[in-house]
Every structure is written in C-alpha cells, then in structure tokens.
A and B are shown apart, each in its own frame.
Chain A
Amino acid sequence: MRIALFATCIVDAMYPATAKATVRILERLGHEVVFPSGQACCGQMHVNTGYLKEAVPVVANHVAAFDTADYDVAVAPSGSCVASVKHQHPMVARACGDAALEARATAVGTKTYELSELLVDVLGVTDAGAQLGSYFPHRVTYHPSCHGMRLLRLGDRQSRLLRTVQGIDLAELPEQDQCCGFGGTFSMKNADVSSAMLQDKAANIESTGAELCTGGDASCLMHIGGGLSRQGSSTTTLHLAEILASTMEEPASVIGEVRVSTGKALR
C-alpha cells in the first residue's frame, strides 16, 4: 500500500523522531511511504482559537497538498490533527462558502487515519511484538488524549497495541480519561487552570512509578513532559510510535529526540 505521511507541524518541527518512527513501522510492514512536501499544518490552533479567517489558507494548503498526491491512505501520528482534518476542515470550508473546497476536504478526511487506527483497522496489526518486532523493556504508563478518545473514538486500539510490545511493563494510569489541560492556546489564555489540570495529571503519572508516559498526541505529550520536567520529575514522555518502532536491535534511544529516561540510559 502507498501511504502518505502527514507529519503534522509540531512533530515535523519538534519531534522528528516520532515521524521517523512512523515511517519505520509502515516500511517494516512492507508499505511504501510518501511525504507530500506541500503539507504544513492542520489549522486546528487557528480554528480552536476562533481565527477562522486565518484558518482558511492553512486548511486549503493541507487539502491541496493531499488531494493532488498519489496514495491509498494518509496517516498522522496525532489524534487531534486527524480529528481536525476529518471534522474541522469541511466545517471551515463551509463557513467560508467554498463548496468545492468542502468536497475536496471531505474526500481527504475520509482517507486520513490516526496511526493506531491505520495499524489495527487497515493493516491488521494485532500483535506489535510479533508483527513489528516491537521491544521496549520499560515501565510505561499510557494517557489516551481527549481527541483520540472522544472525537475519533479510538477506543482501546492504542493500549491494545502497547500491551503486545515485548518486554513492556504497562501500568494503568489513574483517571486516564481526564484531560491533561493542554487545549492549545487554552494553556496560555487560562494558564492557571491548565496548570492545575496538569498538576493532577502529573501526580497520577508519578503514582504509577512508570519511567515514561506515552500517548498518541505529540502536543499533549509536550505539555505533560514540560510539566514533569519543570517539577524535576525523572519521568518523561515518549510518543507511542517510537515505542512501537523500538526493537531489540534498534531500541528507541538511538532515534529519540526526546530524552528517554533521565539518568537511566536505555539498554
């Protein structure tokens, strides 16, 4: 299958290792990955902050980059960006009265999948250890992000995949369905409330004794990781794609831009 990667702006600029891990997983399954170079961002930051007019060119750019490229399905390692492509793009096009753009956006959205959704529903991965060689001998806890959970209804796809990683010690996160408090510009406009939510999330993570917290959204992980780092915690965050891509021969640490474990080098 020919799979187009939507790296998302934050992964592209801040967490390239997550995108590389995604490529690695898909290629290991024997698929061809393409990267439509016109892509930039899904525009959810603009839409969610009320800047609909400014969101229009961002959305139009994404649609143009993806509806001209030649691929079977598109994938992004981010639930919230996929939710934006699927739910917000047609809405933005409608709001600016562009019926043609709306139709194209809907078509692109239909072909776009979140990583775990693609792996489980389309590519038939049921055992990451056996099918991808995933090996990650660490105590990990998992935070399902709001958009994946409530907008995409990912259910337990992500945790199911994680559970089949060899060597993993997966600790259940208390109150896992609670928002981490990121919410894009919410974290700046309502910094106090966002910090209070983050504090509780961090405390729950710490209570599991996990070395790191994983999830499917780079932005939430940046938020959680940033809070843990500020609190001087030794726990950090790592995207689920990097755990799935980690193998016995090439453990996550060699491709990680994200520090994997303070003071405890990965073997």
Chain B
Amino acid sequence: MTTFLGMPALPAFGSGNLFAGESFPTAAHRELGNAQLRANLGHATHTIRDKRQAVVAELPDWEQLRDAGSAIKQAVMARLPELLEEFETNFTARGGVIHWARDAREANEIVAGLVRDTGETEVVKIKSMATQEIGLNEYLEEQGIGAFETDLAELIVQLDHDKPSHILVPAIHKNRTEIRDIFLREMPGADPALTDDPSVLAMAAREHLRRKFLTAKVAVSGANFALADSGTLAVVESEGNGRMCLTLPETLITVMGIEKLLPTWQDLEVFMQLLPRSSTGERMNPYTSLWTGVTEGDGPQNVHLVLLDNGRSAALADEMGRSALHCIRCSACMNVCPVYERTGGHAYGSTYPGPIGAILSPLLTGIEAEENNSLPYASSLCGACYDACPVKINIPDILVHLRSVDVDSKRGKKKVPSQMDVGMKAASWALSSGKRLGLVEKGLPLGRLAAGPDRKITKLPGIAAGWTQSRDIPAPPAQSFRDWWAKEHRNAGGAPGTPGTPEAGPSRTLSPDTKETPQ
C-alpha cells in the first residue's frame, strides 16, 4: 500500500538470515541433546563472563558510562534521517561512495555489482554481522565470486560449511580437536602432522590467510561505528586481520546497518570503553581501525559503503522495541543468558542469537513471520541480559511487549482458540476477584485427592504436561490461607476478612486447633 507520494505506508520488513526454519522449542530440543555442545558452551560463556565481570568492576563510573551510551543511542534514533544525511555528505566529500539498500536482496546486488566492476572473482572479508545477516557469501558464490573469511573463528565456521552460533565467538560450539579435524579436511595445503595445540592451529590459519591478503584486490567489511560529523567508519577487532583487509586491497566495500551511527567523534570515547569490556572482557581491544574516505597513495582507492535498512526502519517505528537498535553487538547478553548457554546460537535460527536475537529478529522481520514468533518466548525473563547490556536495552520488557504483539496478532484469526488462550481467559476470570478465587480454592481438596498417598502430582494433561515432564507438584493444602483467615477472624469475633484484634497476637495465629500436621 502506498500513499499518493509513492512512499510506503509502513516501513518494509527485512529479509535474509533472520528467519528460523523451525520453532525455538523444537530447535532447542535438538540442540540440548548435544552434550559436547553444552559442555563447550558452558565452559566458554563462563570464562568470558567472569572476565567481563572483573574488568567492569574496575570502572567506578561503569553505570554512568552505560547511561551515556544509552542516551547517545537514544539521541541517534530520534534524529536518524538527519544524521544519515550528515554522514553521507561528509563521507562523500572525502571521496567515498554511498549506496542505499532497502533489504538483503538490494544490498547483495549492490556488492556483487561493485565486485564485478573491478573484474575480480575473489574477495577477502573481515567478520561482519551485516553481511551474515544478508547472506552475502552465499549470494556472491552464486555469482561466481569467492568470499574468504579472514577472522579466525569465522574461517573455521566457513571451512566447516557450518553457521556461526555466537556473534563474537562464531566457533564457540567447537573445541580444538574438532578445529584441527576441520583444517585437515578443508584447508588446502594443511600439514598432515597438524596438532590440536592452539598456537599450532593459529599458525596454520595465518599461513593460509597470508596468501589471501597478499593477492586480494577487493575487501568486504562491516563497521562497528560511523561518525556523522566527520564521515568516518570504525572497525574494532582482536586479531589484526581486519586491518589487513582494510589497508591492502585496492577496493574496500563496507556493509553497515543504518543504526550504527554516532553523532560525533567525541561520542566514540564512551563506546570504546563499553564495547571491549562487554564483549571480550578486555580493557581495550588490540586493533581499532578508523578510515575517512580515500587517502591518495595510501590504502584502498575505491571506498564504498552500503547502508542497509533491512527492517531497521520498521523496528524504529515500534515505540517499545526501537531501543533494540541501540545494540552494539557486544554479545554480553548471550554470555550471561541461561537459555543461550544451554541451547547455543543455532536454536535461534537467525544471525542474531541469544536475548538480543530473540527481540531483534522479530522486530526486523515482523512477529508474524513464520516461526519467528516463538523467539520472544525463549526467555525465562530472569533479567540477566538487561543487567549486562552496556547500552541498557531493556530486553525483558521488549520480550513481554513482543509476546503481547504476537498474542494480539493471533486474536480473532484463529477459528479454535489454543489451550493457552482458553487457560488465560479462565485464569483472568478467576483471578480478577477475591470471591471467585476463594470459590476456586474450595476445589483444593480435589487436588489432594488427585495427588494420592505420596502427596505429589506427577502427571498433568495438555500444555501443563511440560511442567510434570521433570517436576512434581506438591499436593495442595486442605485449606487456603484466605479460608483460614476468614474462619480465624470469625472465631475472633470479627466479620470474615476484617482484621483481628492485635492483642490476639501470635498465639491466635498459631492456636492449637489451627496447627497443621507436617507431611
């Protein structure tokens, strides 16, 4: 639907690697069965989060830094169009070229076209979430262009024809023996005597990558930040392979989500403190590269930037959900998430796993997109993610908001209400009046009967069967508190529900006739 100006009435949702092929509970069930994965993940997340905890505790102004990060991002979202234009003006003035991409398809076509223009058939890549999101490697391959990942973990995943399962540590689900086997199998010219010593593995990767760096004419990168006031792009990394990609080739193509902007150079100071500490648990990351357009005789002479929407405008239009765009992809939320720790990233289906993925994927694609509507329920709402997030994204509140959007979008559409719908309606009726709850509680003795002589309920029907899969329910008491209170106060001379006399005190509440026998 369009208005007469030809503007879309609603921002378009995104496409690409943001969709789950199956619902979260189904995928989680499968991943939970992988004991090796669980052990690897548990070990890795515990290590990173302990490191993070230690370096965060060193900063006396950590909370103020989080507030500042959150405020800067909020300001960016409030005037995103204006800042994008400012950035475009400055980036272009310094010799860079800007391309705007509405969705994954457009972005892929733009990048492929730029590579084709150079006459090359190979590109080196530095780890980028945006190009993962749009599935650029696969698209380029279809076009006859080979894309080689240079980030070590990303390289492992690519060689294994697998998908990353963590945004910062893509191969978090693999141990070093598995990595050695992958290298032996997939890396051209790998030494057959390769051991699983991490330094030996790193050297093998280094040799392999060096060849690529020295021959590649085109590089593709992502960007962690874009500074509007100077038209500068920034990449923050640990291995230095990104720096090789950003300086050696002749053509550099960056793909970046439109939300990565910061208003000024000065704002970067806040994020350079927040990001390394939150992501790798380091005070500062080893390599930070910043580039502003083209410098004659130094570095790439053709510099392009693809600005990617892919559902970000739609997320921005969601008043409750828009702060998900503040995300700086540090991965702190997944490292502290008890759900992610047990299922790993693949269960989330999308490039973005963990708590941020559970809100970002449905925000970018629409909650009605197939199977994505199970993602907002993939959380116990324990709140660990909110506490860890350096830009204070209130993930639990956004999860609850998206659940209500999901429930509402289904209202009226279904011919037969689900068990959950029926249960929630009934519970709403029973729990919105003290009298009605009291009435329901009169049925407690029935539950006692169902519990049998061992005083526990071990099997429930329907959706409640999930509970009794691994937990018993104690037999309900003979009498509810409400009933006890009413009788107590009637005996004490008061009307039911009115307070007793204070003098009656503790002895009354524990008078012998009200004592209950231990079970």
Query: Which of A's residues lie within 8 Å of B, judged by CB?
Result: 7, 9, 11-17, 19-20, 23-24, 27-28, 30-41, 43, 45-55, 57-58, 60-61, 65, 95, 146-147, 150-151, 177-179, 181-199, 222-223, 225-227, 229-230, 250, 253-260, 265-266
Contact = CB atoms under 8 A, between A and B. Distances in A.
A133 to B, nearest CB: 10
A42 B444 CA distance: 20
Interface stretch (B72-80, B283-291, B303-311, B419-427): B419-427
B470 A230 contact: yes
A61 B432 contact: yes
Contact of A193 (B342, B404, B481, B485): B342
Contacts of A13: 437, 440-441, 444, 476, 480-481
Interface stretch (B125-133, B227-235, B459-467): B459-467
B436 A19 contact: no
A140 B484 CA distance: 29
B502 interface: yes
Given A250-B510, A257-B516, A11 B473 contact: no
B384 A38 contact: no
A34 B496 CA distance: 11
30 contacts: A12-B437, A13-B444, A20-B481, A24-B509, A27-B509, A33-B499, A35-B482, A35-B485, A40-B431, A40-B433, A41-B432, A50-B400, A52-B404, A53-B411, A57-B428, A57-B432, A61-B432, A146-B381, A150-B387, A183-B379, A186-B379, A187-B466, A188-B467, A190-B25, A190-B339, A190-B377, A191-B466, A227-B470, A255-B516, A265-B518
Interface string B381-403: 11110110000000000001011
A43 B471 contact: no
A9 B515 contact: no
B434 A255 contact: no
B482 A24 contact: no
Interface residues of B, number: 80
B431 A179 contact: no
Contact of B383 (A16, A147, A254, A255): A147
Contacts of A65: 434
Contacts of A181: 338, 380
A198 B471 contact: yes
B470 A256 contact: no
Contacts of B194: none
A38 B434 contact: yes
Contacts of B192: none
B113 interface: no
Contacts of B407: 49-52
B172 to A, nearest CB: 18
Contacts of B502: 27, 30-32
A179 B382 contact: yes
B479 interface: yes
A226 B467 CA distance: 9
Given A14-B476, A259-B455, A254 B469 contact: no
Nearest to B26: A192
A27 B383 contact: no
B387 to A, nearest CB: 6
Contacts of B485: 35
A41 B464 CA distance: 20
A194 to B, nearest CB: 7
Given A35-B497, A193-B343, A194-B380, A40 B484 contact: no
B406 interface: yes
B506 A28 contact: yes
Given A38-B434, A187-B467, A54 B28 contact: no
A256 B518 CA distance: 6
A34 B499 contact: yes
B380 to A, nearest CB: 3
Contacts, number: 248
Contact of B381 (A39, A40, A60, A186): A186
B477 A37 contact: no
Contact of A186 (B377, B499, B516): B377
A57 to B, nearest CB: 4
Given A151-B383, A192-B28, A58 B472 contact: no
Nearest to A251: B518
Contact of B342 (A32, A46, A196): A196
A157 B283 CA distance: 32
Nearest to A92: B404
A55 B434 CA distance: 15
Contacts of A24: 506, 509-510
Given A16-B481, A197-B342, A254-B510, 14 more contacts: A14-B477, A16-B477, A16-B480, A27-B506, A31-B502, A37-B496, A50-B403, A50-B405, A61-B432, A181-B380, A183-B381, A188-B466, A191-B470, A197-B339
B432 A222 contact: no
B381 A258 contact: no
A58 B424 contact: no
Given A11-B481, A35-B499, A266-B518, A46 B382 contact: no
A23 B500 CA distance: 11
B464 A179 contact: no
Nearest to A183: B380
A181 B28 CA distance: 14
Contact of A150 (B382, B430, B482): B382
A148 B505 CA distance: 29
A234 to B, nearest CB: 14
B212 interface: no
Return the 7 tightest CB-CB contacts between A and B, nearest first. A183-B380, A50-B403, A37-B497, A226-B471, A191-B466, A179-B382, A188-B466
A190 B428 contact: no
Contacts of A188: 463-464, 466-467
Residue among A41, A191, A225 with most chain B CB within 10 A:
A191
B470 A195 contact: yes
Given A13-B476, A179-B382, A181-B380, A41 B470 contact: no
A197 B509 contact: no
B421 to A, nearest CB: 8
A68 to B, nearest CB: 12
A48 B403 contact: yes
B89 interface: no
A190 B481 CA distance: 31
A254 B518 contact: yes
A222 B377 contact: no
Nearest to A47: B400
A253 B473 CA distance: 20
A46 B484 contact: no
A184 B455 CA distance: 23
A26 to B, nearest CB: 10
A184 to B, nearest CB: 8
B431 A185 contact: no
Nearest to B320: A95
B482 A7 contact: yes
A266 B495 CA distance: 36
Contacts of A51: 404, 407, 424, 428
